[in-house]
Amino acid sequence: MLDSHNRHLLRHLQNTPEASVSELASRAGMTPATAARRLDKLTALGVLKGQHAIIDWKALGYSVEVSLRFTLDKTAPRAFDEFMAEARKVPEVVEIQTFLGRVDVRLSVIARDISHYQTIYRDRILTLPHIADIEALMHVASIKTSEALPI
């Protein structure tokens, strides 16, 4: 599916998603028409699913970001579903991930400051169903954020 031309295209697109098709084409060493055709094909195959804008929550006044790692009480039959359904209702939860490992679920929670975080934690997080254990990691800095694939 990925010949070296497609690999090149995707690599450049990963690095500069806002580039125009003709810019991408010249970087990947092909004509704009070829690049456009290849990108369309990758989209049709479902490999390229789209582009999303990234919000910097700090610029909106949310200076605190905490990674909350949960172990759930798995004796409750629908623990995962019920926990996640309730977590989705908390506006400050920006990410939900489930895992195979020591951690069952992780939530990314943002807050304006520490006292705001404390309020969210007490009123909205500790009240989520089926929690067996919680650990918190406070975000200090993003060192690498590209999320680029090694293609």
Partner 1 sequence: MIDLDDLDRKLLLALVQDATSSARALGTRFGLSQPATWRRIKRLTDAGVISGRRIDLDLEKLGFAVSVFLGVKLATKGRVSLEDFERAVSAIPEVQSVEHVLGMYDYRLRVVARDLSDFERVLRRRIMTLPGVGDVEANVLLSEERLPGPIGAKPG
Question: Residue numbers of the site for partner 1 (CB under 8 A)?
Answer: 1-2, 10, 13-14, 17-18, 45-62, 67, 88, 91-103, 106, 110, 135-151
Closest CB to partner 1 among 75 and 100? 100
Count of CB atoms situated within 10 Å of the CB of 22? 13
- In the complex with partner 1, the residue whose CB is nearer, 120 or 131, is 120
CB of 33 to partner 1, least distance (A): 19
CB of 73 to partner 1, least distance (A): 18
- Chain-centroid distance of CA 121 in Å reads 21
Strand-pairing partners, residue 115, are none
Question: Residue 132 corresponds to which tokens in the numbers above?
Answer: 């067996």
Residues 6+ apart with CB under 8 A from 140: none
User: Which lies closer to partner 1 via its Cβ, residue 51 or residue 75?
Assistant: 51
Residue 57 backbone class (left: φ over 0; alpha: ψ -120 to 50; beta: rest): alpha
Whole-number minimum distance, CB 12 to partner 1, in Å? 10
Output the smallest distance, CB 146 to partner 1, in A. 7
